[in-house]
Structure 1
Amino acid sequence: MVSTDALLNSASASEDMEDIEIETVGDAMLRDPVLVEGLPGVGHVGKLAVEHLIEEFDSEELTRVYADEFPPQVTVDDNGITELAHASFYAVSADGQDLLILTGDHQAQSHGGHYHLTDTFLDIAEDMGVKSVYALGGVPTGELVEEPDVLGAVATDAGIDPLDDAGVEFREGEPAGGIIGVSGLLLGLGERRGLSAACLMGETSGYLVDPTSAQAVLEVLETVVGFEVGYESLEERAEEMKEVVEKIQQMQGQQQGMPADDDLRYIG
Structure 2
Amino acid sequence: MRTKIYQEVKRENLNHPIAIVGLPGIARVGKLAVVRMIVELNAKRIMDIFPYDYPAWIVVGKNGVARPLKSSIFLYKGKDRDFLFLTGDAQPLSPVGLHKYSKFIAQKFHEFGCELIIALAAYSMGRVPEQPKIHVAATSEELLKQFLDHDNAVLFNGGTITGANGLIPTYGKVYYGIDGVVLLAETYENLKMDPKASEVLVNLLNDKFSFQIDVSKINLNDRRLREFFERIDIEEEEKIEEPGKERTYIT
Contact 1:50/1:103 (<8 A) preserved: yes
Q: Which position in structure 2 is the counterpart of 1:133? A: 117
Which of 36, 39, 55 matches 1:55? 39
Query: Structure 1 residues 160 and 134 mapped into 2: Cα distance closer, same or farther (>3 Å)?
Result: same
1:220, distance to aligned residue in structure 2 (A): 1.2
Contact 1:57/1:93 (<8 A) preserved: no
For residue 85 of structure 2, give the secondary structure of its aligned residue in structure 1.
strand
Superimposed CA distance per residue, residues 83-124 of structure 1 (whole angstroms, 9 cap, x where no aligned partner): 111111011245654210010011011111111111111111
Q: Which position in structure 2 is the counterpart of 1:188? A: 170
- The reply to whether residue 197 of structure 1 matches residue 180 of structure 2 is yes
1:171, distance to aligned residue in structure 2 (A): 4.1
Q: Normalised by the size of structure 2, how large is the TM-score?
A: 0.80
Q: Which position in structure 2 is the counterpart of 1:100? A: 84
Q: Which position in structure 1 is the counterpart of 2:5? A: 24
Distance 2:106 2:219 in 1: 32
Q: Normalised by the size of structure 1, how large is the TM-score?
A: 0.75
Distance 2:203 2:216 in 1: 13
Distance 1:37 1:236 in 2: 20
Runs of 4+, deviation exceeding 4 Å: 235-238
1:169, distance to aligned residue in structure 2 (A): 0.3
Superimposed CA distance per residue, residues 38-73 of structure 1 (whole angstroms, 9 cap, x where no aligned partner): 001111110000000111112111111112100111
Which of 154, 160, 181 matches 1:169? 154
What RMSD, in angstroms, separates the aligned Cα atoms of the two structures? 1.9
1:32, distance to aligned residue in structure 2 (A): 1.8
Contact 1:58/1:93 (<8 A) preserved: no
For residue 169 of structure 1, give the secondary structure of its aligned residue in structure 2.
strand
For residue 35 of structure 2, give the secondary structure of its aligned residue in structure 1.
helix
Highest relative contact order (Cα 8 Å, sep 6+), 1 or 2? 2
1:27, distance to aligned residue in structure 2 (A): 3.7
Select the structure that is richer in helix.
1
Which of 201, 218, 229 matches 1:217? 201
Amino acid at match of 2:179: S
1:190, distance to aligned residue in structure 2 (A): 1.5
**Structure 1, gaps ≥5 residues long:** 1-19, 239-268
Amino acid at match of 1:39: L
Which of 175, 189, 204 matches 1:206? 189
For residue 218 of structure 2, give the secondary structure of its aligned residue in structure 1.
helix
Amino acid at match of 1:169: V
Superimposed CA distance per residue, residues 229-259 of structure 1 (whole angstroms, 9 cap, x where no aligned partner): 1123126869xxxxxxxxxxxxxxxxxxxxx
Contact 1:136/1:199 (<8 A) preserved: yes
Over the matched positions of the two proteins, sequence identity in percent amounts to 24
Contact 2:203/2:215 (<8 A) preserved: no
Contact 2:107/2:172 (<8 A) preserved: no
